């Protein structure tokens, strides 16, 4: 955990206490002697009173008044939602996209198998486009990607270190084109710089796949 700049001593104490608590979970020193399975009590001040829609509760707590602040850089900089699985990521993304009144642009990928394999024709017969399109894996975007102007996104590849365009860099979409996305950087020293994200080919590293997927 990295301690961020805070203005008051009380905030610093609370942040330090939270960091130590998180570290003790990661180190396995909390919860008493255990066999890698421990029951951990989460402090009440870290819990949300979820309504019938827990996703809405999380989003509304993390991004209050999202629709009226969607174009505010500082508002987006200090907020992020972490999710444990890809399914949860998609649920949260769909909900947040629905809050953005801008027109959605749907981008579809071109999925193929790597041509370095010996029998390319056989691979194409075995793995149909429908099968390849349905593959979802960490580190690569889905076949169908919905984007809206004003929506925050995260870069999944290293493009240009000098501009701060690295894996994990957060950006906000300014304009969508057919082959590039115009966006503004939310993180790093190049905050607010406008950049163009080109169409690119992603190859996920997945030992469970018996072939190499190329998603453009």
The model's pTM is 0.71
Nearest to 144 by CA among 135, 153, 152: 135
pLDDT at 91: 92
DSSP 8-state assignment for residue 13? H
Q: What is the pLDDT of residues 89-98, one digit of tens each?
A: 899 999 999 9
Residue % of the chain over a pLDDT of 90: 14
Give the percent of the chain with pLDDT over 70: 85
Per-residue confidence (pLDDT) for residue 28, from 0 to 100:
77
108, pLDDT greater than 80: yes
Sequence-ordered alpha helix ranges (H) in the chain:
9-27, 54-62, 66-69, 73-77, 86-99, 120-126, 129-133
What pairs with residue 215 in β-bridges?
Answer: 111, 202
CA trace torsion 27, 31, 35, 36 (10° rounding) = -40
Q: What is the pLDDT of residues 170-200, one digit of tens each?
A: 999 999 988 899 999 987 666 668 899 988 8
Q: Would you state the pLDDT for residue 101?
A: 87
Q: What is the pLDDT of residue 2?
A: 47
In order, the DSSP letters of 97-134 are HHH--SPPEEEE--EEE-TTSS-HHHHHHHS-HHHHHT
Q: Is 23 helix (H, G, I), strand (E, B) or coil?
A: helix
pLDDT tens column, 123-145: 566 788 898 999 888 778 899 98
């Amino acid at each position: 955990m990295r301690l961020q700049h805070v203005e008051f001593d009380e905030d610093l104490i609370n942040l330090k206490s939270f960091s130590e608590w998180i570290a003790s979970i990661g180190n396995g020193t909390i919860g008493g002697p255990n066999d890698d399975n421990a029951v951990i009590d989460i402090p009440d001040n870290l819990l949300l009173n979820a309504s019938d829609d827990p996703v809405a509760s999380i989003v509304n707590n993390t991004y209050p008044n999202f629709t009226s602040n969607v174009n505010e850089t500082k508002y987006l900089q200090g907020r992020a939602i972490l999710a444990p699985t890809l399914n949860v990521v998609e649920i949260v993304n769909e909900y947040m996209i629905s809050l953005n009144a801008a027109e959605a642009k749907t981008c579809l990928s071109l999925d193929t198998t790597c041509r370095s394999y010996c029998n390319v024709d056989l691979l194409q017969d075995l793995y149909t486009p429908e099968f390849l399109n349905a593959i979802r894996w960490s580190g690569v975007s889905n076949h169908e990607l919905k984007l809206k102007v004003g929506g925050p996104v995260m870069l999944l590849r290293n493009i240009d270190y000098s501009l701060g365009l690295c894996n994990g860099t957060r950006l906000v979409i300014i304009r969508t084109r057919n082959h590039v996305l115009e966006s503004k950087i939310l993180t790093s020293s190049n905050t607010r710089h406008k950049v163009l994200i080109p169409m690119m080919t992603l190859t996920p590293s997945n030992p469970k796949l018996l072939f190499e997927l190329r998603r453009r």
